[in-house]
Amino acid sequence: MVAAAPALICASAELENGGDARRFEIERADGRRQAAFVVRYQGRIHGYLNRCCHIPVELDLQDGKLFDLTGHYLICSMHGARYRPDTGYCTWGPCRGQSLTALDVGEKDDKVWLNVMPDEFC
Ligand code: FES
């Protein structure tokens, strides 16, 4: 669980291109927790709150398997919304045109970091 940033999420080697997401939780000042994840896509790390834009449920039913079979979209397991891994933009599904809440994440010293806590968790 992450309560302040910068915070270590995982080792860089844990994230393969188009592979399983690394899930983690962010803790708000009021103690509420929000699921989040990081993935690697085309060599770069991307992080988002783990909350679909259609209904606020976790995209992956807690197994970290977010990429579709093409390896180019993150897919919501509930109703199939597809999001671009690099922007979080929903290209298909009931929430098309909306975007996942992006997190400021990055790599340094072979580790993946949450650089800044998000301002809000809506
Ligand atoms: S809850 Fe994600 S597409 Fe409906």
Sheet holding 74-75: strands in order across?
74-75, 82-83, 90-92
Find the CATH number of the domain harbouring 87.
2.102.10.10
Pocket of ligand 1 contains residue 56 by CB under 6 Å: no
In contact, 107 and 113? CB cutoff 8 Å: yes
How many Å lie between the centroid of ligand 1 and the Cα of residue 76? 6
In contact, 113 and 3? CB cutoff 8 Å: no
Tell me: the pLDDT tens digits for 2-42?
777 789 999 999 999 999 999 999 988 788 899 999 999 99
Paired strand residues for 37: 23, 48
Tell me if 122 is assigned to some domain: no
Pocket of ligand 1 contains residue 98 by CB under 6 Å: no
User: 77-94: buried (b, 16+ CB within 10 Å) or exposed (e) per residue?
Assistant: bbeebbbbbeebbbeebe
Ligand 1 atom nearest 79 alpha carbon: 3
Name the band, by pLDDT with cuts 50, 70 and 90, for residue 1: confident
Pocket of ligand 1 contains residue 57 by CB under 6 Å: yes
Total count of domains within the chain:
1
Q: What domain range includes position 17?
A: 7-116
91: left (phi over 0), alpha (psi -120 to 50) or beta: alpha
Ligand 1 atom nearest 55 alpha carbon: 1
Tell me if 73 is assigned to some domain: yes
In this structure, the residue with its CA closest to atom 1 of ligand 1 is 55
Pocket of ligand 1 contains residue 54 by CB under 6 Å: yes
Tell me if 17 is assigned to some domain: yes
Tell me: the pLDDT tens digits for 38-69?
999 999 999 999 999 999 999 998 789 999 99
Ligand 1 atom nearest 76 alpha carbon: 2
Helix (H, G, I), strand (E, B) or coil at 120: coil
Helix (H, G, I), strand (E, B) or coil at 12: helix
